[in-house]
A and B are shown apart, each in its own frame.
Chain A
Amino acid sequence: MKEKLEALKVEALEKLREVQDPQTLNDLRVKYLGKKGELTEVLRGMGSLSSEERPVIGQVANTVRSAIEEIIVSKQEAFQEQETLNRLQAEKVDVTLPGRRLPQGGIHPLNRVIQEIEDIFIGMGYRVAEGPEVETDYYNFEALNLPKNHPARDMQDSFYLTEELLMRTQTSPVQVRTMQAMQGEVPVKIICPGKVFRRDDDDATHSFQFHQIEGLVIGPNIRMSDLKGTLQQFVKEMFGPNTGIRLRPSFFPFTEPSVEVDVSCFKCGGHGCRLCKQTGWLEILGAGMVHPKVLEMGGYDPEKYSGFAFGMGAERIAMLKYGIDDIRNFYFNDIGFVKQFRGV
Chain B
Amino acid sequence: MKVSTGWLADYISLDGVTAEELADKITDAGIEIDSVERRNKGLSGIVTGFVKSKEKHPDADKLNVCIVDTGQDEDLQIVCGAKNVAAGQKVPVALVGAKLPGLEIKKAKLRGVVSQGMICSAKELGMNDKLLPKELQEGILVLPEDTEIGQDIMTVLGLNDEILEFDLTPNRSDCLSMIGAAYETSAILGRELSLPDPGRDVIEIISPASDKIAVTVENEEHCKHYAVRYISGVKPAPSPLWMQNRLMAAGVRPINNIVDITNYVMLEYGQPLHAFDADRLEGGALGVRLAREGEILTTLDGQERKLEPHMLVIADAAKAVALAGVMGGLNSEVTDQTVNIVLESARFDGGTVRKTSRQLGLRSEASLRFEKEVDPRSVIPALNRAASLLSRYAGGSVHGGIVQAGTDEVEERVIKLSLDKVNRRLGMDLSLLEVKTLFARLHFSFGDAEEGTIEVSVPTRRGDISLDVDLFEEIARLYGYDNIPTTLIEGPTTPGGLTGPQALRRTLRRLLADGGYQEVLGYSFIQPERTALFPALTEGGLAVKLAMPMSEDRSVLRTSLLPQLLDIAQYNVNRRQSDLALFEIGSVFITDEEQLTRQPREFQTLALLLTGSRAAKQWNVAPESVDFFDLKGALESVFAYLGLDNAVVFEGDSPQGYHPGRSASLYLNVKGERVKLGTMGQIHPDLQRKQDLEDTYTAEILLAPLYEAARTTLQYTELPRFPGMERDIAVVVDSEVPASRLLDVIREQGGSLLQSAQVFDVYTGGKMESGKKSIAVSLLYRHTEHTLTDEEVSEVHSKVLDALQQSFGANLRK
Q: B-contacting residues of A (Cβ < 8 Å)?
A: 97-98, 100, 102-108, 110-111, 115, 118, 121-128, 130, 132-136, 148-152, 154-155, 159-162, 165, 167, 187, 189, 195, 197, 199, 201, 208-209, 217, 219-226, 228-230, 232-233, 246-251, 253, 256-259, 289, 291-292, 306, 330-336, 338-339
Contact = CB atoms under 8 A, between A and B. Distances in A.
Contact of B170 (A154, A195, A229): A154
B545 interface: yes
B18 interface: no
A233 B487 CA distance: 10
B494 A125 contact: yes
B547 A229 contact: no
A233 B572 CA distance: 40
B617 to A, nearest CB: 11
Given A98-B618, A228-B487, A333-B568, 16 more contacts: A97-B620, A108-B520, A127-B498, A128-B498, A149-B354, A159-B549, A161-B544, A161-B546, A226-B489, A229-B487, A249-B473, A249-B476, A330-B521, A333-B521, A334-B571, A336-B577
A71 to B, nearest CB: 45
Given A259-B481, A333-B568, A338 B546 contact: no
A189 B496 contact: yes
Contacts of A106: 513, 518-519
B514 interface: yes
Interface in B473-530: 473, 476-477, 481-482, 484-499, 502, 506, 509-510, 512-525
Interface in B164-213: 169-173
Interface in B587-611: 587, 589, 596-600, 602
A224 B496 contact: no
Nearest to B28: A248
Contacts of A246: 482
Interface residues of B, number: 95
B521 A230 contact: no
B602 A105 contact: no
A38 B225 CA distance: 138
Contacts of B493: 125
B509 A107 contact: yes
B355 interface: yes
B30 A250 contact: yes
Contacts of A152: 169-171
Contacts of B596: 161-162, 165
B513 A224 contact: no
Nearest to B598: A165
10 contacts: A134-B599, A151-B350, A225-B484, A226-B487, A228-B485, A230-B489, A251-B172, A257-B469, A289-B472, A331-B522
A342 to B, nearest CB: 8
B267 interface: no
B509 A208 contact: no
B425 interface: yes
B576 to A, nearest CB: 10
A125 B597 CA distance: 38
Contacts of B580: 335
Chain A interface helix/strand/loop/mixed: mixed
A122 B519 CA distance: 23
Nearest to B172: A251
Residue among A162, A223, A229, A291 with most chain B CB within 10 A: A223
A121 to B, nearest CB: 7
B544 A122 contact: no
Contact of B517 (A105, A187, A197, A217): A105
B571 A249 contact: no
A223 B425 contact: yes
Contacts of B523: 209, 331
Nearest to B478: A249
B513 A151 contact: no
Interface of B: 27-30, 32, 169-173, 350-351, 354-355, 371-372, 424-428, 467, 469-470, 472-473, 476-477, 481-482, 484-499, 502, 506, 509-510, 512-525, 544-550, 554, 557, 568, 571-572, 575, 577, 580-583, 587, 589, 596-600, 602, 615, 618-621
Contacts of A103: 514-516, 581, 615
B601 to A, nearest CB: 10
Nearest to B512: A105
A133 B523 CA distance: 12
A105 B514 contact: yes
Contact of B518 (A230, A289, A338): A338
Contacts of A220: 491
B459 to A, nearest CB: 18
B260 to A, nearest CB: 27
A49 B28 CA distance: 123
Contact of B476 (A118, A135, A232, A257): A257
Residue among B173, B350, B424, B599 with most chain A CB within 10 A: B599
Listed from nearest, the 9 A-B pairs whose CB atoms lie closest are A225-B427, A103-B516, A249-B30, A223-B427, A251-B169, A257-B473, A122-B496, A247-B481, A149-B351
A220 B476 CA distance: 21
Contacts of B597: 162
Contacts of B619: 97-98
A334 B572 contact: yes
Contacts of B424: 221, 223, 306
Contact of B524 (A197, A217, A258): A197
Contact of B496 (A126, A159, A330): A126
A63 B575 CA distance: 82
A128 B621 contact: no
B469 A247 contact: no
Nearest to A132: B602
Given A123-B496, A162-B596, A335-B580, A134 B515 contact: no
Contacts of A258: 473
Contacts of B544: 134, 161
Nearest to B577: A335
Contacts of B547: 159-162
Contact of A107 (B519, B522, B589): B519
Contacts of A217: 489
B484 A247 contact: yes
A118 B505 CA distance: 14
A117 to B, nearest CB: 12
